[in-house]
């Protein structure tokens, strides 16, 4: 009797012909892995329905919370400011971060064999580094926005013009693209000809490279150096920016500075929640796979769901705009009127 769901999985290995293998490999036939087996969060059959329900609800909350922020910012003219423009883009990236692997993880709770094709695995690697890299740079842009607003308030609207905001968002996506392209360059040509079990719920790059048929020590160092450089440089920029801002806020005492402190608290909380797991996974070399798995769930699920909560609970402007949005679209009896109109049109 099988205790593990993955014991029942058999992933095909495609024989591509007779080629010379690296010296570290014995044999003459070069076989290429066409699928990877994802071990998921748990191998227990009893936990699968429970995990399916929990993560389905969490993913739904991520979509609703972040799209609500995007809708609120775009529909209320009072929120058409640089800070909220960047916040709406952060919510969009959070949806992307949560969506690159979570739907498949949820679907995998219902199947015995959690397999993913080689190309789909590379796609997951591409998107996770694209979205997380972009989010890191966007968080730096949001810190810069707060720095200008607090330290140079008289020049704020001149410096943070609409054009500058768009450029900052485009730069974040560009840096994310360069980052993920460099990461894929280390992986795409690696030979995978044997082990194909990834101890995670998605194709995490450090775990996938360990399955290659050659010694990947140098490649792993390059991957960690690439991700570590982006993570640490962004984090240090954020630390410097928020330190300067906090010193400025501390030397001034006014109602506007009290509001700035509240906003800064939300920003710093989000930065800590996002960068903590990322830096720990890619920079700290001694973490175990089980810890990495928990941290991966944290930055792909819990950070995107906490961001809307953090930014709305401490922000009166956003809460006021959401109340206005609710009164506009959720008036008493409006839903029943829409339903009656639809039924009337269908009977015509």
332 to each of 76, 293, 321, 335, how far by Cα in Å? 21, 45, 18, 8
pLDDT at 180: 95
CB 68 within 8 A of CB 326: no
Bridge partners, residue 29, by sequence: 18
Annotated domain spans of the chain: 45-322
């996770």: which residue's tokens?
Answer: 128
Categorize the per-residue pLDDT at 23 as very low, low, confident or very high, splitting at 50, 70 and 90.
Answer: very low
Q: What does the pLDDT look like over 157-204, one tens digit per residue?
A: 999 999 999 999 999 999 999 999 998 888 888 888 878 898 889 998
pLDDT at 265: 76
CATH of domain 45-322: 1.20.1070.10
From the list 232, 205, 198, 31, the residue with the least C-alpha distance to 129 is: 205
- Residue 214, burial from CB neighbour count under 10 angstroms (0-12, 13-18, 19+): middle
**Which tokens sit at 82?**
């640089």
- Residue 171, burial from CB neighbour count under 10 angstroms (0-12, 13-18, 19+): middle
């Amino acid at each position: 009797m099988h205790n593990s769901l993955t014991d029942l999985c058999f992933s095909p290995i495609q024989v591509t012909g007779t080629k010379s293998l690296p010296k570290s490999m014995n044999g003459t036939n070069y076989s290429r892995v066409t699928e990877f087996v994802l071990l998921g969060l748990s191998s227990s059959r009893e936990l699968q329905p429970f995990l399916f329900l929990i993560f389905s609800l969490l993913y739904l909350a991520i979509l609703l919370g972040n799209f609500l922020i995007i809708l609120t910012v775009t529909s209320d003219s009072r929120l058409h400011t640089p800070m909220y423009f960047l916040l709406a883009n952060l919510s969009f990236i959070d949806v992307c971060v949560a969506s690159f692997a979570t739907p498949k993880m949820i679907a995998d709770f219902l199947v015995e064999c959690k397999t993913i094709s080689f190309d789909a695995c590379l796609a997951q690697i591409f998107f996770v580094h694209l979205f997380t890299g972009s989010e890191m740079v966007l968080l730096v842009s949001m810190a810069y926005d707060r720095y200008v607003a607090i330290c140079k308030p008289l020049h704020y609207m001149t410096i943070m013009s609409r054009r500058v905001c768009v450029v900052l968002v485009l730069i974040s996506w560009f840096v994310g693209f360069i980052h993920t392209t460099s990461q894929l360059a280390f992986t795409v040509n690696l030979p995978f000809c044997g082990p194909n079990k990834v101890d995670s719920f998605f194709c995490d790059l450090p775990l996938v490279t360990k399955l290659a048929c050659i010694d990947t020590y140098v490649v792993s160092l390059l991957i960690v150096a690439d991700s570590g450089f982006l993570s640490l440089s962004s984090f240090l920029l954020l630390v410097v920016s928020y330190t300067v801002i906090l010193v400025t806020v501390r030397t001034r005492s006014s109602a506007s500075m009290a509001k700035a402190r509240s906003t800064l608290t939300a920003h710093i909380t989000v930065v800590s929640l996002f960068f903590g797991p990322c830096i720990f996974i890619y920079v700290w070399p001694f973490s175990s796979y089980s810890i990495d798995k928990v941290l991966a769930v944290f930055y792909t699920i819990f950070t995107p769901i906490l961001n809307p909560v953090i930014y709305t609970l401490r922000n009166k402007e956003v809460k006021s705009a959401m109340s206005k949005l609710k009164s506009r679209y959720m008036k008493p009896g409006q839903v029943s009127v829409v339903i009656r109109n639809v039924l009337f049109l269908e009977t015509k």
